[in-house]
């Protein structure tokens, strides 16, 4: 137990520090950065407690610091901050971007601590029917894929695009199995995760596509100074938010934790609109929505990871099928048997109480590191990133990491699989709103549902 605790503590620190820094860089999509590094941690042989703590601390820390470029610069820190942009822009026009930042990240801290025990509770409620759900997994994946597609930006286009995408995965997987003697999974996963990046790289190579990426000149930003409005080293989020904002954020965390099968982005938008409709004062409405929406990003990510992981071991949520996928399926370390639905992953290797203890530990570490940093150094951090961090260097580093992992799994053929799936998936994302969560569910439908349908015949 002591060894597991030390692994959880050390890897939580690593995840929090690394992703608190990555969150400062705008446009670093969670799936494209959290998933590959989590996969690397798994493949390096880190024990289950360390893997889980690393992942949870990473997403919590990133969802604190991702609010810095969103509120201060007006550019999305990642996919989950897009619903915050409108309210953040209005608060910038009022001259209070620092208030928008503090409300947003304080809501995230409160929601994170609420969602961990709630996720364990909801998972415990589902556990008695876990075996029945496992037997129905092929059909549940198909239904979940359609449901998640309907709640995405693409809606019916996403539903329609699922069918050719599933057939594409089936065909490539069959070809790879014939050539290598075994199937691939990590390479498909990385292709879906980095799809938008791969699509943009191909667009940059095309004279026509390059025009869409062209910018007339550098963007100018005006940053508010860092102002300390509290005493002591650690700010208290319960004092940053007023009582109504705390209550609304807590309520949204409870609801979004329970509805773990829906899109995190959709829940973020919905919770903000539901709460905003109940507040008449314009300023209070904007600041409350910032807290509620960023809180929902934390609660959905935590609950959508922990509930299916604890109760089922199957990635039956957009989050579990996206950034958290390595916690479920990272061969040869963690596996989901596509024939039987049997699992060997964190679901089997950690007890329920360990998820609760290590989950709260990871959240605490992430908040202790990222929250005071964002509250006191947002201006300096945003300014430093804009002046010194090269997006090209970030992209190059992740491209190198992906190349190494693909070569490890299946050589050059695996690299080609990742590029193929990434290009097609990225174009589907960019043009039709078929986000990576939908595509991941399509992948699982291809390896689970299609064989089940064939077996019926």
Q: Are 97 and 382 in contact (CB under 8 A)?
A: no
Q: Are 292 and 275 in contact (CB under 8 A)?
A: yes
Nearest to 256 by CA among 184, 202, 305, 215: 305
If DSSP codes are grouped into helix, strand and coil, which group holds residue 344? strand
What pLDDT is attached to residue 369? 93
If DSSP codes are grouped into helix, strand and coil, which group holds residue 43? helix
Which residues, 6+ apart, have CB-to-CB distance to 332 below 8 Å? none
Q: What 8-state DSSP symbol labels residue 334?
A: B
What pLDDT is attached to residue 50? 95
- Answer positive or negative: Cα dihedral of 3, 44, 437, 129: negative
Model confidence, pTM: 0.77
What pLDDT is attached to residue 265? 73
As beta bridge partners, residue 68 has: none
Percent helix, percent strand, percent coil in the chain, to nearest 5: 75, 0, 20
What pLDDT is attached to residue 57? 96
Q: What 8-state DSSP symbol labels residue 226?
A: P
Q: Are 443 and 195 in contact (CB under 8 A)?
A: no
What pLDDT is attached to residue 49? 95
Angle, CA 365 vertex, CA 362 and CA 368 arms, to 5°: 145
What pLDDT is attached to residue 336? 79
Q: Which two tokens stand for residue 419?
A: 């590029």
What pLDDT is attached to residue 7? 94
Mean pLDDT, each 10-residue run in order, the chain (457 residues):
90 94 76 83 92 95 88 74 80 81 92 95 84 71 78 79 89 89 78 80 78 66 58 78 92 87 74 85 90 92 91 80 84 76 85 94 95 80 66 70 78 90 87 78 80 76
What pLDDT is attached to residue 114? 95
């Amino acid at each position: 137990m002591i060894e597991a605790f030390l692994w959880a503590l050390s890897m939580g620190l690593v995840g929090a520090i690394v992703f608190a820094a990555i969150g400062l860089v705008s446009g670093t999509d969670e799936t494209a950065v959290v998933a590959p590094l989590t996969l690397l941690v798994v493949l390096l042989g880190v024990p289950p407690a360390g893997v889980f703590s690393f992942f949870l601390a990473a997403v919590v820390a990133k969802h604190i610091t991702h609010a810095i470029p969103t509120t201060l610069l007006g550019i999305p820190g990642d996919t989950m901050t897009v619903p915050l942009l409108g309210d953040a822009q209005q608060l910038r026009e009022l001259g209070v971007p620092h208030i928008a930042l503090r409300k947003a990240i304080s809501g995230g801290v409160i929601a994170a601590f609420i969602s961990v025990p709630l996720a364990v509770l909801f998972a415990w409620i589902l556990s008695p029917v876990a075996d029945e759900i496992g037997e129905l997994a092929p059909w549940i994946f198909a239904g979940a894929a359609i449901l998640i597609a309907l709640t995405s930006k693409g809606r019916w286009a996403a539903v329609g695009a699922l069918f050719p995408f599933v057939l594409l995965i089936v065909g490539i997987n069959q070809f790879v199995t014939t050539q290598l003697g075994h199937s691939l999974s990590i390479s498909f996963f990385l292709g879906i995760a980095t799809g938008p990046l791969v699509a943009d790289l191909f667009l940059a190579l095309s004279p026509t596509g390059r025009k869409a990426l062209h910018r007339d000149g550098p963007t100018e930003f005006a940053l508010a100074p860092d102002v300390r409005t509290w005493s002591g080293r650690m700010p208290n989020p319960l004092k940053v938010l007023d009582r109504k904002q705390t209550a609304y954020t807590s309520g949204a965390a409870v609801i979004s934790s329970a509805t773990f099968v829906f899109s995190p982005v959709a829940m973020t938008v919905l919770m903000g609109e539901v709460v905003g409709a109940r507040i008449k004062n314009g300023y209070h409405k904007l600041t409350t929505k910032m807290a509620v929406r960023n809180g929902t990003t934390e609660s959905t990510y935590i609950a959508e990871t922990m509930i299916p992981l604890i109760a089922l071991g199957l990635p039956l949520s957009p989050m579990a099928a996206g950034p958290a996928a390595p916690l479920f399926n990272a061969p040869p370390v963690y596996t989901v048997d596509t024939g039987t639905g049997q699992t060997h992953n964190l679901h089997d290797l950690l007890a329920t109480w360990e998820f609760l203890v290590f989950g709260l530990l990871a959240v605490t570490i992430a908040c202790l590191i990222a929250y005071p940093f964002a509250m006191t150094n947002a201006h300096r951090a945003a300014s430093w990133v804009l002046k010194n961090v090269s997006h090209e260097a970030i992209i190059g580093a992740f491209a190198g990491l992906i190349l190494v992992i693909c070569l490890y799994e299946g050589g050059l053929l695996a690299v080609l699989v990742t590029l193929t799936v990434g290009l097609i998936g990225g174009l589907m994302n960019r043009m039709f709103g078929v986000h990576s969560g939908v595509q991941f569910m399509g992948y699982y439908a291809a390896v689970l549902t299609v064989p089940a349908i064939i077996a019926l015949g």
